[in-house]
Structure formats: C-alpha cells, structure tokens
Amino acid sequence: MPNLCIFGVCLLAKILIIKLLVYSRKAILENPEYATARNLANRTNELLKKQGIFPRGVDIHEIHPVKFGGSPTDIANKIALPRPTHTHYTNWWNRLQKDITKIR
C-alpha cells in the first residue's frame, strides 16, 4: 500500500498487485453487487462504533477493500484510521483500480 515504498520500489509493488489481481481473475465488484456489499460494510462499521469496538471520530477502513472482494463484515478486515490517513489509503486503492481497469 502507500508505505510499500522502500528505495523507490513502490511501482514494482503496484505492478505485482495489479498482476495478482488481474491474472488471478479476481474481479472488482461492480454495481449492484458492490452497492450491496458497501451498504453492509457501512452498517457493520456503524454497529462496531455503537458497540464501542471502534471509537467514534475515526474512519473504519477495510484492509482488503470491499471493492476488491474483501469481507464487508469481518472485523479482522477492519482497522480504525484518522480521516487523513484513511483518505491516503483510499486514494491509493482508487488509483490501483483505475490502473487495473485500463489493463482490462
């Protein structure tokens, strides 16, 4: 992800991830399947905050994004991040998705 950059090998890491996703034929979820999964993730995240498992005032980020087939409900796939950090990771995944769709 964003902190995979070690001595300028960010691009290599990104290429490897793209190849793994494309060649393993793991689809990027599209609507309506994605909308359903995203809605489930959002409801789960709110419930986790209400239960005090994650604090209010943070964003809950899915480590393996729902858009890429990650679980919308598994707590092991979730991490609390401050908004700026969450935005940074989300932007990285959005760029990766854009790069993958260019290849298809």
Q: In the prediction, which pLDDT does 26 show?
A: 59
pLDDT in tens, 18-75: 666 654 445 688 889 999 999 999 999 999 999 999 998 999 999 889 998 889 999 9
Cα–Cα distance between 15 and 31 in angstroms, integer?
Answer: 26
**Contacts of 84 by beta carbon, 8 Å cutoff, 6+ apart:** none
pTM comes to 0.73
Q: Which amino acid is at 24?
A: S
Asked if 3 contacts 9 with a C-beta cutoff of 8 angstroms, the reply is no
63-90 average pLDDT score = 92
When computed from its CA atoms, the radius of gyration of the chain, rounded to whole angstroms, is 15
**By the 8 A CB rule, do 82 and 59 touch?**
yes
Q: Stretch 77-83: mean pLDDT, rounded?
A: 93
